[in-house]
Copies of this chain bind each other. A is one copy, B any other.
Amino acid sequence: MLSPREQIIENFGQYFENYKLPRILGRVYGLLLLTDQPYLGLDQIVTELKVSKASVSTVVRQLVGFMMIEKVTRPGDRRDYYQVSPKAALTYIQNSMRGALSFADLIEKAAKLEDLTPEARQKIERIEHLYEALAKVLGEFFAEFEKE
């Protein structure tokens, strides 16, 4: 039986799995979010999540790449530690929104096709405008939040 905390960590794993990321990646993120400690070392993550060091090593690199967590080092300590930074969450949301908006690029490319019938063109342009409006709203939202 899983503790509530473990269950939620598991849920984080499942969530990210839906977005084509390794389940362990989500679990590591969840663990770092829920931990009492300011940051965790690789071996702590390994024992806590009962996964291989190899997995944590690769997954942690991805998370840093996505700017969802940060690496923390300490003088006189060779080990690497990891934490979710407050800014990380904002970056993550921005990334996922950017992902959704990248659909707009596709639509735009489609709208540039030459041999479209007027009906098809109209259909596509409506979608184009919808995404433009959404991009505008989201842009304003992030501009607002980044100020803080």
Chain A contact residues: over half helix, strand or loop, or mixed? Answer: helix
Q: Please name all residues of chain B whose beta carbon is closer than 8 Å to the beta carbon of A117 when the two chains form the complex.
A: 36
Q: Please name all residues of chain B whose beta carbon is closer than 8 Å to the beta carbon of A65 when the two chains form the complex.
A: none
A141–B99 alpha-carbon span in the complex (Å): 18
The 8 Å CB contact of A93, one of B4, B89, B102, B131, is: B131
Q: What would 25 A/B residue contacts be, using CB atoms closer than 8 Å?
A: A5-B115, A8-B109, A8-B110, A8-B113, A12-B106, A15-B102, A19-B20, A20-B20, A30-B110, A33-B120, A33-B123, A34-B110, A34-B113, A35-B120, A36-B119, A84-B123, A86-B127, A89-B127, A93-B130, A93-B131, A96-B100, A100-B100, A130-B145, A133-B141, A133-B145
Chain A residues in contact with chain B, CB under 8 A?
A: 4-5, 8, 11-12, 15, 18-20, 30, 33-36, 38, 84, 86, 89-90, 93, 96-97, 99-100, 102-103, 106, 109-110, 113-117, 119-120, 123-124, 126-127, 130-131, 133-134, 137-138, 141, 145
